[in-house]
Structure 1
């Protein structure tokens, strides 16, 4: 089998990706590479990048300034890295593409919940990366993750642009061709030995949803297992929060709430709106409606996206009504 370095000897053939590879220079820290590429090349705001990393805006701004200064003082020019040089930058480039997709999939700010042009651009770059690095399992894992998530686009918003949560979506609107493409990319990642990779594991989770004909058919115990594996690969309070959702569905809301309550002490999640949102959902399922209303109100106050804010306010009102009638 050809090694990764020989795969990457081919010209990238994509101007934007060449720029991202240039920004992901090993002179910079891994965190600075992604921040610089997302801000200077991909056009995300400092605030959007900060939310992606769960860090203060000032921290990200400082990283970007320092990264620009480092590259400027090094005298490095625009370049198209090849072979080993390109290989050592690949993981950072995958991370940049992943974060671009995430911002398109659920926008941090603004009036629209989705930014389809960002998702489409990330998908395009992901497909290029699998041709540039055909034997890199995580490239295929990332593409699988993006294809499977994007397959639900038509079902994720209503006629007025309001978010529709996964369990309430019309699954007839899910794009079956895109699901097949995602499953094919996931199989390729696994064939290359990437079953336990960060992106492949996330793709495996989304595949469980894609393969469930109805919301009730979802294999939540398997999803919870995948999240436990993912947490072992990368410690992240956001992964643990997602695991809490899966555990809550598999074992009951009490079990999920126990995990969430531990996460309330995580500094990184202090202003993360999905923490009180998930807590509110679990409390509502337990019939603790007054507490759920408070949690949804807190989540709404933290949400920067208008559509998410409105959804959370509606859920708070519904929980409040339930509390009055119970």
Structure 2
């Protein structure tokens, strides 16, 4: 089968199409023939050599795909060859065939085409699992960084659907307008003093929950932006892996700092998260309460261009590879 491989850690130029051995569906697994694969920041980190897959997982990049069931492994019920599906992966998505546990595969949301669906499962699973983790509640205020990106644009809509007030950051007037269009109540340019502006916008109180993709760079600013009993959940490291934490500020707020990774969770946890996405998020997409914001599609042969576009700063919404 064809797959994208990284010949060595490095820039987009290390990515190439190669023929590799096709996987098979083992007991409890499904084999999926890929129609499309989502492109995520984690893919960039893996390509650079900073985010290796879990032990025993395919070295091929890619955390989410859509396609059709190719084969059904022993003991799997409810699926047959040809069924459309979307899947949350620990790796292996940039390939024509993917084998994975059946619990991480669900049917696509009603009314959403299969290519678009490839870019939904990872962001939905990330946002829902983390908002459950920090117990985001109606009436609270959420700050999500990168509001025009895949995670941010979804988080804005999901939190608004819960009845929350939403603040976000973005890097251009166009992206800030998009955030407001999605429902953000407070949209701040991260080139400015967004901490001071957020404090003013919240009457000095701060925010209850922060969903952070930046990591070290924003650690101090995030903690200072929390309200009393606020919760910061770190899910990305775009701004580095080591930061300084002022424990006195954290103590004075009775606040919490936590970090999660979807990729390294046990299979049983991933299956539960995927089931929750199907139960709670897919109906919101079908009803229009959450909508697909923007997407940019690249044929898999242009995978280098897709990675360059994601890191260029010009992207809004999701990037999808098509097979």
Q: TM-score range with shorter-chain normalisation?
A: under 0.3
Give the number of the structure whose residues are more often strand, by fraction: 2
Give the number of the structure whose residues are more often helix, by fraction: 1
* TM-score, normalised relative to structure 1: 0.25
Structure whose CA Rg is larger: 1
